[in-house]
């Protein structure tokens, strides 16, 4: 369906305070915004848990998951992004939305290096949606677990290429949901310390 594809160079916020807002995104190699259909499913899964949550987007990219979470009243959001132009666009989009700088932050840097350092405060919802076919999902999962990024009962969303049928996760991550859509497989886990 054509309506599930974002128009070239932009991402649409589905719901919340910024519903239907369209934000520009960088046209960069490997940048693939999560489709509207997948996002609708994900945010239905998270519906009762987003308001007031601390959210981490490990691979900011287009900001689709980051901005959707903030639109749905997450109390704080942080996004990591390696590519300088994409990180700058995320920051500009925060300004466009007049987002309080105390509630949202974009950090330009290598996600694996950033996750290797324990945070001062944990997160309630974490998104791991890395560039495909680079082995970044499992490395991120390992670092998040080793360095105490998760609050008790935190939920972790992982989106990978569909051929990665098996995913190594810590024993105390309970899989809540799994779905496949086209070339992606996406899963939701809950951390139980």
pLDDT one-digit tens code per residue, 128-162: 999 988 989 999 999 999 999 999 999 999 999 98
Angle of helix 36-45 versus helix 64-71 axis, rounded to 10: 50
Burial 164-178 (b: 16+ CB within 10 A, else e): eeebebeeebeeebe
pTM above 0.85, yes or no: yes
C-alpha–C-alpha distance, residues 184 and 170, integer Å: 22
Residues 58-116: pLDDT tens digits? 999 999 999 999 999 999 999 999 999 999 999 999 999 999 989 999 999 999 999 99
pLDDT range class, residue 24, cuts 50, 70, 90: confident
Where do the H-state alpha helices sit in the chain? 36-45, 64-71, 84-96, 111-115, 136-146
- pLDDT for 4 equals 42
- pLDDT for 109 equals 97
User: Cα angle vertex 145, ends 67, 151, to 5°?
Assistant: 60
Cβ contacts of 172-179, under 8 Å, gap ≥ 24:
173/141, 173/145, 176/45, 177/45, 179/38, 179/41
- What length does the chain have? 193
Three-state secondary structure call for residue 58: coil
């Amino acid at each position: 369906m054509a309506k599930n594809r974002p128009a070239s160079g932009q991402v649409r916020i589905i719901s919340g305070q910024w519903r239907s807002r369209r934000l520009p995104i960088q046209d960069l190699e490997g940048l693939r915004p999560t489709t509207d259909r997948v996002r609708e499913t994900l945010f239905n899964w998270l519906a009762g848990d987003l308001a007031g949550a601390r959210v981490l987007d490990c691979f900011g990219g287009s900001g689709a998951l980051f901005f959707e979470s903030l639109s749905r009243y997450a109390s704080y959001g942080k996004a990591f992004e390696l590519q300088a132009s994409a990180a700058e666009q995320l920051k500009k989009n925060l300004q466009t939305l007049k987002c309080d700088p105390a509630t949202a932050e974009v950090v330009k840097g290598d996600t694996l290096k950033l996750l290797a350092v324990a945070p001062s405060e944990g997160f309630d919802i974490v998104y791991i949606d890395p560039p495909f076919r680079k082995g970044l999902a499992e490395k991120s999962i390992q670092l998040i677990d080793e360095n105490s990024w998760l609050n008790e009962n935190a939920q972790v969303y992982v989106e990978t290429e569909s051929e990665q049928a098996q995913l190594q996760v810590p024993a105390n991550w309970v899989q809540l949901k799994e779905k496949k859509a086209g070339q992606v497989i996406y899963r939701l886990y809950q951390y139980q310390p």
